[in-house]
A and B are shown apart, each in its own frame.
Chain A
Amino acid sequence: MPFQEKSAWIMTLALLLGGAFYFMTVISMSSAMGRLASPNIPVVVVYTIILVLISILGHTLIALFSPKEANARIDEREKLIFVRASSISSYVFGFCVITALGYYLISNDGDFLFYSVFASLMLAQLIEYVVRIALYRTSI
């Protein structure tokens, strides 16, 4: 498996775990309060720490097992894979953000807008890594 594909798997795992932590926390806080909890900095900070820790540990591990590949530049096929994945991800992000903004115009709920834009960012990133993995395994 190429280094960049392993990297995409690590980031997919990090985003899934980080996202699960973030939204489980928001849901439990909201259930306790009886309404949608306002976004707060500590939860975002913990989410960021989870993401950074998994990313650093995962990349260190795969680099230890394949140091040559870790230091290699991405080649022409990988550049193409990155560009396609990024392009698809940007469409998803744009669509989700516009939907979230549209919903805000109806609901005027700023907290919900924050969560939906944050979720859009997570989803778009997740899709970018999943598409990279798929493209590594199919024709491009």
Chain B
Amino acid sequence: MARKPPISNNVRELREACGSMTQAELGDAIGVTRQTVIAIEQGRYSPSLESAFRIAREFGVGLDDVFSWDED
């Protein structure tokens, strides 16, 4: 199967800092399922650019504050 994408993220930390927003709530806000939010948090799925921007906007931060590129 596919390799893990070389992108890490702080979605879980930002979600928890945001008054313990649930994965389902974040999913509803950005238009994906709870399972997709789980896959993003676990680094098993890299969201589309549109969803990445939606996530950043939801937390009121920049894209770089949510996602980062892993060199290895």
Q: Which residues of A contact B (CB under 8 A)?
A: 1-2, 5, 69, 72, 75-78, 134-136, 138-140
Contact = CB atoms under 8 A, between A and B. Distances in A.
B31 to A, nearest CB: 7
Contacts of B4: 139
Contacts, number: 44
Contacts of A135: 1-2
Nearest to A3: B33
6 contacts: A76-B47, A77-B35, A139-B2, A139-B3, A139-B45, A140-B2
A76 B2 contact: no
Interface string B1-17: 11111000000000000
Contacts of B39: 77, 139-140
Interface residues of B, number: 17
Contacts of B2: 135, 138-140
A61 B12 CA distance: 32
A1 B33 CA distance: 11
Nearest to B1: A138
Given A2-B33, A77-B39, A138 B44 contact: yes
Given A69-B33, A139-B44, 19 more contacts: A1-B35, A2-B35, A5-B35, A72-B33, A75-B31, A75-B32, A76-B32, A76-B47, A76-B48, A77-B33, A77-B35, A77-B36, A77-B39, A78-B36, A135-B2, A136-B35, A139-B1, A140-B44, A140-B45
B51 interface: yes
B55 to A, nearest CB: 12
A76 B35 CA distance: 12
Contacts of B48: 76
Nearest to A76: B48
